[in-house]
A and B are shown apart, each in its own frame.
Chain A
Amino acid sequence: MHARFVPLFRSLLFAVSIFSVSAQAEIVHTPVTDAMLLDAAKSADNWIMVGRDYAGTRFSPLTKINTGNVKKLVPVWSFSFGTLDAQNTTPLIVDGVMYVTAAHAKIFAVDAKTGTQLWQYSHPLPDEVGKFMCCDLGNRGAALYKDKVIFATPDSHVIALDRATGKESWKVSLADWKKAYTMTVAPIVVKGKVIVGMSGAEYPTRLWIEALDAETGTQAWRTYTIPGPGEPGFDTWGITDADAWKFGGGSAWITGSYDAELDTIYWGVGNPNPDWDGSNRKGDNLYTNATLALNPDTGVIKFYYQYTPWDVWDYDGNNEPILADVNGKKVWLHGDRNGFLYKIDRTNGKFVWGKEISKVNWATGFTPEGRPIVNPEKVVNNEKKVMDVCPASEGGKWWNPMSYSPATKMVYVPSREICAHLKGGASERVEGKYNLGLEEAEWIKGYGQLVAMDAETGEKKWTVKAPSPFTSGVLTTAGGLVFAGTPEGIFFAYDAKTGKELWSYQTGSGMVGSPVAFAIEGKQYIAVPSGWGGWTGWATWGGKGGAPHLKDNRKGGYVTVFALFDK
């Protein structure tokens, strides 16, 4: 460099460094305390756990974006994850910083006002891990606790990073991914423990829910979702196969909820293995397709409610329990893949009601105790193809989380009307290999719907139909809005009271993640991930499927953030 330019260069460098320091100084990685987690519902500006609050409502109290002005919503920044496949995440935001996971074991910290990356972390995945996962290399989000952000990886690691730097604080391996013990779950932190659950019930596995010390990653407890010898429920796995329980699946990949007053965690358990062949596991197959009520200190099961005993439809009851207080009653609301929306007393697990979200013909109703009355004509078996089973395995309501608005007392369910022809098949138990017990599957072309249901009665208040199922999670706000997205990548806003479409935006790729709302310096934002992937066989299987127009649907990997146009 010429000598006379050196002072100028130094001045510029100084100015740039001052600017950088001042820009950096605005970024504060506020420690997330237990008190903040307990009061998350009241913290309007932040979204500090995937369900927004321990009840899992996905309801934001923010009102600046509302039914009167949502048509002025415009994108203010977008952020590429630099990776494709299922972007199943829910972004987290605390005091202006977004922490967002992506497919392929990636996580980013981003300035939530500008979209500027603060750091990124990528956990190197083994090349082979994909063949031990049924449904893509996605991730459903992270958890925040004190100075750490914590997430799980497909190869069954749980990793805690320093939120300011992205450097590893601790990293633990929970299981052997080569035997298909894998992870996609978003953790939740309860009383200083990181709670996670395992994936892998399409393979011969025995899965569990686990608590880790948030400071060290040390195991605090592990609760198997399938009872062992001598435990209650062990005798529900039939008598023809003595090892059925050892390999019976029971995944737990959807984040649960927590009631601090009852000091109880509620966590869903998925399908038994083999999925469709129930011939060697005749019985209720506890605790598959159930929500467990757990002691957060010990993991001991207090009680449960089972949605689909002896599941031969792959109804996979993992789905989230939303804790709601409806007319003074403490209940959980659960939309199941079996087609019913459930209301369950969360003080004791007793059934209140089950109402159809979509067409249901596998069951004809419920006993007074809440046991489904199974239609024998629609029981999947290995001898004969059963035609027109409703709903197909994905529901009803698939895994994408619904939202409960305490403002309208309604629950908003992303749904579909798709049925299937199914024939079970002999299964072969080899660890690390698919064991579906399925001979034939043919999804029947259907359509999507977003359904608003009254939390008191279960009555349908409105339904919006769409060419494809709503595959994003749902966000509701005190601004009277419901946000939901589609496989085509269209992000919609509806009037929460009427279902009237108020706004839409093409995000660029199909949506299988969940939108959130947050505010910085008094300005409200809406953020949503997009990036098509996951188990999409229901759409195009065999060149036909439930939504064949989604063949070769575009992949992607972004988060897009919106605010009101204010120029």
Chain B
Amino acid sequence: MKRILFALFCLIALSGGAGNVDTGPAGGPLVDPFPGDPQAIENGAKLFKRVSCHGCHGGNARGGTGPDLTDDEWLRAPGDEMIFNVIKNGRPGTMMSPFRDDLTDEQIWYLVNYIRDLGRKRKAEGG
């Protein structure tokens, strides 16, 4: 039970006062509230493991059972809003489940930023 409580504490701590982020006008396109923010990227890295994203997408998101989230094909095609929506609502009929019950909107944006950051680093490495 202590471990479960600890896990819940970590999730709450990572959310950092969720619910107060501005993600664009109501009904309009979603906007990343933390573009490139180092703290958001760090939070996203922790969540990536804690929510078990790595179980499918690999420890550094370079693919496993699920697709590589850092290669050009993935990073060029979807916008931030699409990545956000896929994490939140899943892709019905695939292994990609909705995480809306596990993550706040703010936490999902942390993950989007982490994935984007991995892509930028990979590109800089020439890979």
Residues of A within 8 A of B (CB): 83-85, 104, 127-131, 133-137, 202, 428-430, 433-434, 436, 440-441, 533-537, 540-543, 551-552
Given A84, A133, A135, A430, which contacts B4 in the complex, CB threshold below 8 Å? A430
Contact B7 A430 (CB under 8 A): yes
What is the CA–CA distance of A237 and B35 in the complex, to the nearest angstrom? 48
Known: A131-B52, A428-B3, A551-B68. A543 touches B97 (CB 8 A): no
Instruction: For the complex, give the distance between the alpha carbons of A264 and B127 in Å.
Output: 55
- Please determine whether A543 and B68 come into contact, CB atoms closer than 8 angstroms: yes
- A463–B54 Cα gap in the complex (Å)? 35
Question: Which residues on A sit within 8 Å (CB–CB) of B4?
Answer: 429-430
Q: Are B127 and A543 in contact (CB under 8 A)?
A: yes
Known: A134-B55, A430-B3, A434-B52. A128 touches B62 (CB 8 A): no
Contacts of A84 in B (CB 8 A): 94
How many A-B Cβ pairs are below 8 Å? 78
Kindly state the separation between the CA atoms of A418 and B93 in the bound complex, as whole angstroms: 32
27 contacts between A and B (CB under 8 A): A83-B93, A127-B90, A127-B97, A128-B90, A128-B101, A129-B97, A130-B94, A130-B95, A130-B96, A131-B95, A131-B97, A429-B4, A430-B7, A436-B55, A440-B59, A533-B65, A534-B65, A540-B62, A540-B68, A541-B58, A541-B62, A541-B64, A542-B59, A542-B63, A543-B62, A543-B63, A552-B73
The answer to whether B65 touches A441, judged by C-beta atoms less than 8 angstroms apart, is no
Report Cα–Cα, A429/B98, bound state, in Å: 22
Interface assignment of B15: CB less than 8 Å from any CB of chain A: no
Distance in angstroms between the alpha carbons of A551 and B74 in the assembled complex: 13
Q: Determine the residue in chain B with the shortest Cβ distance to A543.
A: B62
A128-B3 in contact (CB<8A): no
Q: Is B67 in the interface zone, CB < 8 Å from A?
A: yes
Smallest distance from the beta carbon of A103 to chain B beta carbons, Å? Answer: 10
| Most chain A beta-carbon contacts within 10 A, residue among B7, B60, B64, B101 | B64
Report Cα–Cα, A202/B55, bound state, in Å: 10
Q: How large is the interface on B (under 10, 10 to 19, 20 to 34, 35 or more residues)?
A: 20 to 34
Q: How far is the CB of B120 from chain A (nearest CB, A)?
A: 16
Q: Could you tell me the distance between the alpha carbons of A441 and B73 in the complex, rounded to whole angstroms?
A: 25
Does A540 contact B63, Cβ atoms closer than 8 Å? yes
Q: Is B29 an interface residue (CB 8 A)?
A: no
User: In the complex the two chains form, is A136's CB within 8 Å of B65's CB?
Assistant: yes
Q: Could you tell me the distance between the alpha carbons of A143 and B52 in the complex, rounded to whole angstroms?
A: 34
Question: B52: which A residues are within 8 A, CB to CB?
Answer: 131, 433-434
Specify which of A85, A436, A551, A552 is in contact with B95 (CB 8 Å cutoff): A85
- Seed contacts A127-B98, A128-B90, A430-B3; 6 additional CB < 8 Å A-B pairs: A127-B90, A129-B97, A134-B55, A536-B65, A552-B68, A552-B73
Residues of B within 8 A of A535 (CB): 65
B97 / chain A contacts, CB cutoff of 8 Å: 127-131
Asked if B92 and A127 sit within 8 Å, CB to CB, the answer is yes
Q: Which residues of A contact B95 (CB under 8 A)?
A: 85, 130-131, 133, 136-137
